Structure 1
Amino acid sequence: MRYLSFTKYERLKKFVNRETYLIRKADKKEEQISKLEKINEEKEMELLFNQLMEGKSINELDARQMKGLLKVFVAKTAKINERKIQLEKPPNPPSNNKNVISTSLVEDLLNDGYFFETMAAIGDGSGTEIGPTEGNDTNAEDDGHSKDLN
């Protein structure tokens, strides 16, 4: 629509002077900066958490780092508790027996400290994927004949 086709009221309603425009842009940039600072802080604390898991001394940390680590710890604890709840629920009946996980295996993993260290290392948002990423889990040399199944 053309500008002149609007009524005078509609034109004035949408009118923005330069000062208002610049203030809005500055506010948006401040919001973006604060979001980036928050993300940066989370990543820094995640890295610090992983360094502590690898053996860094907790005595080397300042108060800001300790507070950040407490937040990371609370978040990781919540994720672990959520995962425990998911693992305690009875699984849906699987279509094949390859995907069945025994409850004793789950209990062993929950009691294994190394498992949690590994989960902390791969759960840092680095994009690490677990499991096959290519193909469809079938043998590439399988031509579909029954002799291959023996």
Structure 2
Amino acid sequence: MKKPNHTPAGRAMTDLVLELFRASTRMITAGDRLVADIGLTSARWQLLGTIVSADRAQPVSWIARDMGANRQNVQRIVNDLVKDGLLEFQPNPHHRRAQLVVLTDAGKETFDLAMKLQAPWINELSEGLDVDAIQTTHQVLNQLRNKLEEDQKD
């Protein structure tokens, strides 16, 4: 079988993407373990974090867009978190059917607890890694995500 003809950048990006897939799987597993005792999963935690970081309450479709996730999957998780009392729906003055998703006090407490667990864990995980390399990796991933988002608009 003939090998694909990658440019040096294409080969490096292929290696990076494969490593991202492996790291992502392990990161999700580690996150699930970290927050399991407080009733969260990585997906639930990520959704709560997206809501916390938004500048205002949003409907599910906007949250999904911000997460880069499928709206139906986000809707399912939101519904579960509403049942658990961590989120609630509020009327949307701009759209009758697309209710706004809002953290409850219990949701805020749970998210804060998750972040208290995260701080020592991430500090230990990053121990011994070069801060400049971490920042460069972040910049490259941000540029990659932006290019992918632009490609998906077409």
Greater percentage in helix: 2
User: What TM-score, normalized to structure 1?
Assistant: 0.31
RCO higher in structure (CA 8 A, sep ≥6):
1
Rg larger in structure: 1
